[in-house]
């Protein structure tokens, strides 16, 4: 028997993207038996989480004459593509383009004679009237003179370089073609004219393959007014191809030099060593797994970091720090290398609150001194707490934005609020899981029911309402706009309710507000940022997924209270979803993270994979809920499967609001002097 043929080591679109983020990563990539990698590698979950799969399928429907190149075999795909390209006119989906060891599967290619339109379909929405201005870093209506258009805005670089890479490969493979590159994506200013558009595209998982299936009539006529548009990207792409784009690259090389280096190094499996820098913060190889190497640590060692410093904390672990790259350029790699001069000196208006710079300094100081006791500015916290009115309400929303709208008259990426949870804390200490809402029905737009249910929960009293992020305010303001355009019979009442509990800035007049609710929600996360820090959260994150385990390990009050069997449907602390639950459970000396005590949202994935849906610096844990919502909307499943997901989501959201209550209870104990702290 002969050896198994080696997979060709082509530089593809995804590898080019990885190389652009950091060229060294190319060496560690696609070596699952050698290097630990924490990036999400499941195509089905990825498609659900990123949500772009429907956009790609809809784009193809706009070209009914298109021919798909379906084979996954590189040589065969290239052969078929080349055969079709012999035709004078042809539209191809997923054509395979190869030049030397560069290999690209483009999204859509439209050939007419020798002219080719190369269309990259992205889920990112844009406004075609202002796209080019935005790419050059200008606001709508502000035109940058052509001579100054040399630097592509960072938020667009990844997309435009991707299109430039594909254009480069096509031009090299077919120099006889004149190529015009296009970006195709949802136009956020357009409304769909058909109901149920997004229920025409379903995601199907078949073993390790994921595909999109269409349902019903998907002819251009049945799809109504186009909501995806194509924008000509010739100007920025040509600037890149000519080597005149002036933005800074991690590699420090020109476009062609980069491609040459990446393709050669990847082909020969050689590591490209570049200096460690700000890019290392989000390195997918910053992780360990039994029997596998740690690529991140390999890089650190190669740059002189001592073995005992390989776990940091590093400069890029400083919370919200904007000077990472300049400090690392000066050789400051670890937090302990930072000095007073490396921080700003801005002060907070509240004399007791930490400004961002003070919070960063405090974090670094606590890490450098190996502090174990949390910081709390009790005076500031006390002042705030004295103003709060009982009963206290704790709410958390789960939301999604789907690229293709549910119903006629809606735009791409409308806000969808499908779930909330609500806990109440009374003045006498009574805690109740007061209410909740969830709607996962396929094709149903839940927002107006959601806000009706929320109003019902909150209108009984004037108690302070807490959220843990600005997200809840944004969602309600978005629903306010949707209501204004709706014909809902009670829309005035619902909009008036939203105005009482939110704040909305006037987009036309800086510093002015359209409204500031008299019962405006209080952001508990902001209170954490201003007054509290636990040294066990090394990266200074304020995400509830870090703060909750930290305070549960810290607080004697919480450990004592929640190690008893007091939480559940018939228990002193009532629950709507759990029969009984003892939240404090120890694993050795550590309290087991409550989020890890709940069943995973999907039963066919392990927890480690599902955790990858939650980016580390996300304020909320919404990634898994959003993905679960997408799965309920855009895949076929049984009633039982849907019910299981619903039950799991209800528990997670319940825990989100309970976590807020626990943080609050802990602070009350701290203010009573029952907990340790440093000032
Ligand atoms: S640790 Fe830094 S240099 Fe090494 S691969 Fe990761 S991002 Fe690149």
- Report the nearest atom of ligand 1 relative to the CA of 23: 8
Of 15, 17, 21, 22, which is best to mutate to test ligand 1, by the most ligand atoms within 8 angstroms of its C-beta?
22
The CA distance from 651 to 521, in Å, is 23
Judge whether 266 lies within some domain: no
Q: Cα of 49 to ligand 1 centre, how many Å?
A: 25
Q: Cα of 316 to ligand 1 centre, how many Å?
A: 12
> Cβ(276) to ligand 1 under 6 A?
yes
Tell me if residue 309 falls in helix, strand or coil. helix
- For residue 67, the enclosing domain spans 51-242
Please measure the distance between the N-terminal and C-terminal CA atoms of the chain and give it in whole angstroms: 71
Q: Which residue has the higher pLDDT, 172 or 128?
A: 172
Domains in the chain, number:
3
Q: Cα of 3 to ligand 1 centre, how many Å?
A: 33
Q: Which residue has the higher pLDDT, 439 or 52?
A: 439
* Judgement on whether residues 130 and 63 belong to the same structural domain of the protein: yes
> Cβ(24) to ligand 1 under 6 A?
yes
Q: Is the pLDDT of residue 489 over 70?
A: yes
Would you call the peptide bond into 313 cis, given omega within 30 degrees of 0 as the criterion? yes
Q: Is the pLDDT of residue 100 over 80?
A: yes
Task: Examine the fold and report which residue of 242, 267, 297 is the final residue of a domain before the chain moves on.
Answer: 242
φ/ψ region of 409 (left if φ > 0, alpha if ψ in -120 to 50, else beta) reads left
Q: Which residue has the higher pLDDT, 673 or 137?
A: 673
* Judgement on whether residues 507 and 555 belong to the same structural domain of the protein: no
pLDDT of 379-424, one tens digit each? Answer: 999 999 999 999 999 999 999 988 888 888 888 998 999 999 999 9
The whole-number pLDDT of residue 155 equals 87
> Cβ(412) to ligand 1 under 6 A?
no
> Cβ(279) to ligand 1 under 6 A?
yes
Judge whether 199 lies within some domain: yes
* Judgement on whether residues 505 and 398 belong to the same structural domain of the protein: yes
Judge whether 428 lies within some domain: yes
The whole-number pLDDT of residue 139 equals 67
The whole-number pLDDT of residue 614 equals 61
* Judgement on whether residues 69 and 194 belong to the same structural domain of the protein: yes
The whole-number pLDDT of residue 679 equals 63
* Judgement on whether residues 617 and 545 belong to the same structural domain of the protein: yes
Assign 134 a pLDDT band (cuts: 50, 70, 90). confident
Q: Is the distance from CB of 54 to CB of 212 less than 8 angstroms?
A: yes
Judge whether 610 lies within some domain: yes
Please give the average per-residue pLDDT across 543-561, as a whole number. Answer: 95
Please give the average per-residue pLDDT across 346-356, as a whole number. Answer: 88
> Cβ(20) to ligand 1 under 6 A?
no
Protein residue whose Cα sits closest to atom 3 of ligand 1: 276
> Cβ(19) to ligand 1 under 6 A?
no
* Judgement on whether residues 61 and 197 belong to the same structural domain of the protein: yes
> Cβ(314) to ligand 1 under 6 A?
no
The whole-number pLDDT of residue 246 equals 79
The whole-number pLDDT of residue 620 equals 46
Q: Is the pLDDT of residue 458 over 60?
A: yes
* Judgement on whether residues 72 and 125 belong to the same structural domain of the protein: yes
The CA distance from 155 to 152, in Å, is 8
* Judgement on whether residues 614 and 511 belong to the same structural domain of the protein: no
- Ordered DSSP codes for 238-265: HHHHTT------SS---HHHHHHHHHHH
Q: Is the distance from CB of 321 to CB of 344 less than 8 angstroms?
A: no
pLDDT of 492-548, one tens digit each? Answer: 999 999 999 999 999 888 889 999 999 999 999 999 999 999 999 988 899 998 999
Judge whether 100 lies within some domain: yes
* Judgement on whether residues 216 and 70 belong to the same structural domain of the protein: yes
Q: Is the pLDDT of residue 617 over 60?
A: no
The whole-number pLDDT of residue 615 equals 55
Protein residue whose Cα sits closest to atom 7 of ligand 1: 280
Task: Calculate what percentage of the chain has a pLDDT beyond 90.
Answer: 72
- Report the nearest atom of ligand 1 relative to the CA of 22: 8
Would you call the peptide bond into 2 cis, given omega within 30 degrees of 0 as the criterion? no
Q: Report the 10 Å Cβ neighbour count for 599.
A: 12
Judge whether 8 lies within some domain: no
Selection from 439, 447, 441, 444 nearest residue 415 by Cα: 447
ipTM of the complex: 0.99
Judge whether 233 lies within some domain: yes
Protein residue whose Cα sits closest to atom 1 of ligand 1: 296
* Judgement on whether residues 423 and 546 belong to the same structural domain of the protein: no
* Judgement on whether residues 470 and 584 belong to the same structural domain of the protein: no
Task: Examine the fold and report which residue of 242, 266, 300 is the final residue of a domain before the chain moves on.
Answer: 242
Of 35, 249, 275, 280, which is best to mutate to test ligand 1, by the most ligand atoms within 8 angstroms of its C-beta?
280
* Judgement on whether residues 99 and 229 belong to the same structural domain of the protein: yes
> Cβ(167) to ligand 1 under 6 A?
no
- Share the mean pLDDT of the chain: 91
Task: Examine the fold and report which residue of 192, 225, 242 is the final residue of a domain before the chain moves on.
Answer: 242
Judge whether 607 lies within some domain: yes
> Cβ(280) to ligand 1 under 6 A?
yes
């Amino acid at each position: 028997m002969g050896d198994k043929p080696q997979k060709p080591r082509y530089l593809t679109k995804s590898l080019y993207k990885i190389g652009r983020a950091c060229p060294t990563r190319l060496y560690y990539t696609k070596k699952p038996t050698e290097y630990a990698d924490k990036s999400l590698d499941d195509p089905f979950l990825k498609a659900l989480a990123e949500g772009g799969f429907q956009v790609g399928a809809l784009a193809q429907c706009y070209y009914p004459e298109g021919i798909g190149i379906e084979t996954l075999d590189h040589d065969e795909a290239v052969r078929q593509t080349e055969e079709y390209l012999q035709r004078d006119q042809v539209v191809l989906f997923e054509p395979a383009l190869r030049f030397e060891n560069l290999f690209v599967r483009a999204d859509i290619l439209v050939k007419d004679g020798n002219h080719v339109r190369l269309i990259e379909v992205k889920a990112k929405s844009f406004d075609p009237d202002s796209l080019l201005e935005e790419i050059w870093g200008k606001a709508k209506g502000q035109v940058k003179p052509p001579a100054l258009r040399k630097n592509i805005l960072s938020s667009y670089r990844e997309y435009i370089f991707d299109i430039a890479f594909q254009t480069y490969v096509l031009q090299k493979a077919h120099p006889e073609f004149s190529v015009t590159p296009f970006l195709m994506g949802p136009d956020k200013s357009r409304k769909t004219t058909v109901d149920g558009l997004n229920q025409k595209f379903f995601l199907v998982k078949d073993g390790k393959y994921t595909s999109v299936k269409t349902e019903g009539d998907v002819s251009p006529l049945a799809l109504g007014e186009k909501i995806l548009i194509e924008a000509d990207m010739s100007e920025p792409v040509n600037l890149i191809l000519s080597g005149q784009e002036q933005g800074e690259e991690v590699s420090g090389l020109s476009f062609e030099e980069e491609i040459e280096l990446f393709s050669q190094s990847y082909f020969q499996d050689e590591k490209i060593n570049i200096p460690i820098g700000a890019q290392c913060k989000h390195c997918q190889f910053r992780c360990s797994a039994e029997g596998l190497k740690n690529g991140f640590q390999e890089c650190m060692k190669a740059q002189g970091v001592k073995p005992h410093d390989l776990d940091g904390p590093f400069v890029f672990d400083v919370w919200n720090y904007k000077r990472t790259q300049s400090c690392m350029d000066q050789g400051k790699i670890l937090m302990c290398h930072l000095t007073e001069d490396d921080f700003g000196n801005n002060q907070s208006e509240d004399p007791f609150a930490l400004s961002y710079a003070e919070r960063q300094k405090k974090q670094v100081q606590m890490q450098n001194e190996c502090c174990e006791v949390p910081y709390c500015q009790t005076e500031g916290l006390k002042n705030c707490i004295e103003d709060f009115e009982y009963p206290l309400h704790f709410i958390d929303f789960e939301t999604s934005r789907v690229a293709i709208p549910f119903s006629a008259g809606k735009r791409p990426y409308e806000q969808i609020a499908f779930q909330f949870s609500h806990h109440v804390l009374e003045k006498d200490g009574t805690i109740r899981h007061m209410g909740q809402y969830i709607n996962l029905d396929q094709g149903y737009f839940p927002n107006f029911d959601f806000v009706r249910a929320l109003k019902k929960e909150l209108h009984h009293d004037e108690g302070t309402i807490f959220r843990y992020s600005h997200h809840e305010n944004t969602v309600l303001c978005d629903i306010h706009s949707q209501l204004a355009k709706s014909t809902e019979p009670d829309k005035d009442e619902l909009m008036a309710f939203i105005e009482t509990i939110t704040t909305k800035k006037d987009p036309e007049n800086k510093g002015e507000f359209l409204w500031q609710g008299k019962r405006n929600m209080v952001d508990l996360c902001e209170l954490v940022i201003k007054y509290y820090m636990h040294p066990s959260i090394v990266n200074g994150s304020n995400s509830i997924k870090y703060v909750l385990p930290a305070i549960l390990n810290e607080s004697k009050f919480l450990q004592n209270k929640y190690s008893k069997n007091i939480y559940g449907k018939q228990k002193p602390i009532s629950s709507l979803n759990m029969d009984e639950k003892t939240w404090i459970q120890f694993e050795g000396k550590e309290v087991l993270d409550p989020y890890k005590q709940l069943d995973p949202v999907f039963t066919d994935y392990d927890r480690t994979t599902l955790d990858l849906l939650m980016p580390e610096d996300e304020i909320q844990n919404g990634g898994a809920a959003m993905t679960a919502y997408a799965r309920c909307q855009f895949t076929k499943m049984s009633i039982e499967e849907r019910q299981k997901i619903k039950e799991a989501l209800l528990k997670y959201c319940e825990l989100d609001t309970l976590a807020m209550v626990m943080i609050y209870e802990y602070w009350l104990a701290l203010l009573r002097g029952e907990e340790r702290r440093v000032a």
